[in-house]
Chains A and B, each alone.
Chain A
Amino acid sequence: MHLMTLPRLHRAVLALAACALGLVFAPEAAAQPTLRLTITPATITFAPADPDTTPSIAAPSVTVSYRVRSNATGSWRISLLASGDLTAGTATIPITNVTWTASPTPPFQAGTLSGTLAQTLASGSGNVQNTTTGTVVFRLANSWTYNVGSYSTAVVFTLTAP
């Protein structure tokens, strides 16, 4: 009796496992969001200016193109994270001196760059079936305290879903 039951139990467990795998994997595979994110241009430059007459230097606008699919019930978020302060050799300009405004609002929002914590640029829920664009304008707080140099840093845009 026992010799006959054990193979049956194996088959039962295998069937259960296969069924469970189907339940676990089939919906997850179908819900895996498909994301697309494009940033244009790849470089922005803050033009030199007199801090007295131009206390805030605006860079040319940046276009953010994004698309979110297979995300019917999930949320999505575009975040910004700088690699660090603006640096020129040993000279630095704090990255927190760079702020941005963005449109349309929502889903976009204004903020201040950080080198340590990703900041939300845009967020929403569900799908964005067609490629959609937003405009971001970065501004550098101008100051007489900046030492001479050619400063640079990198900013990573990350689109995440859910």
Chain B
Amino acid sequence: MTDIKRLTLGFAAFALVATQGLGAATATGSLSATVTVSATAKLTLSSATVTFPSADPDLSPSIAAAEGPVTITAKGKTSTGASISLTLLAGNDLLSGSGSIPISNVTWTASGAGFAAGTMSKTAAQTVASWTNSGNRTGTQTFALANSWIYAAGSYTTTAQYTLTAP
């Protein structure tokens, strides 16, 4: 009787293993997916012109730009850990014929993550905003001109260039 039990148990175990081994079939295929992200920069300004209206220096020692804040949207893609920067460089002082107003008399305040206040320069690009890694930032820049009785009458103009760099 002992032999019969061994034989029966052996059969039961073998049947279980065999059933599991034959239960499913699979076939596989593979696909490789790639994407290349290149350095890119994109800059949008809400206004291309800033105007400082005439004002009494005693009453308005600082003249705010008539257009109000300039809204800046800066977007860039860069390498991991690298910095993206937005700078502003004036082409010259404010000029009116032979008269001039130093461009350093123009300052700005800023709002928005990554944006900073500053003073305009015609010799060294000034940082308007900066951040690390790819991404987009939106902020404002509000310009003001230091008013003075020493400015000769005239219609002064200059240009300034924004540069967004995503290395």
Contact = CB atoms under 8 A, between A and B. Distances in A.
Interface string B126-149: 000000011110000000000000
A160 B24 contact: yes
A91 B8 CA distance: 60
| Range class of the A interface residue count | 35 or more
Contacts of B26: 35, 158-161
Most buried by A among B1, B27, B136: B27
B37 A154 contact: no
Interface residues of B, number: 40
A153 B25 contact: no
A161 B33 contact: no
B77 A86 contact: no
B28 interface: yes
Q: Which 7 A-B pairs have the closest CB atoms?
A: A39-B29, A46-B35, A35-B27, A37-B27, A157-B29, A28-B22, A33-B25
20 contacts: A10-B7, A13-B4, A24-B19, A28-B18, A28-B19, A35-B25, A37-B28, A42-B31, A46-B34, A50-B42, A145-B136, A146-B134, A147-B80, A150-B34, A150-B37, A151-B35, A152-B35, A153-B33, A157-B28, A157-B30
Interface of A: 6, 9-10, 13-14, 17, 20-21, 24-25, 28-29, 32-39, 42-46, 48, 50-52, 57, 59, 62, 64, 66, 86, 88-91, 93, 98, 138, 140, 144-162
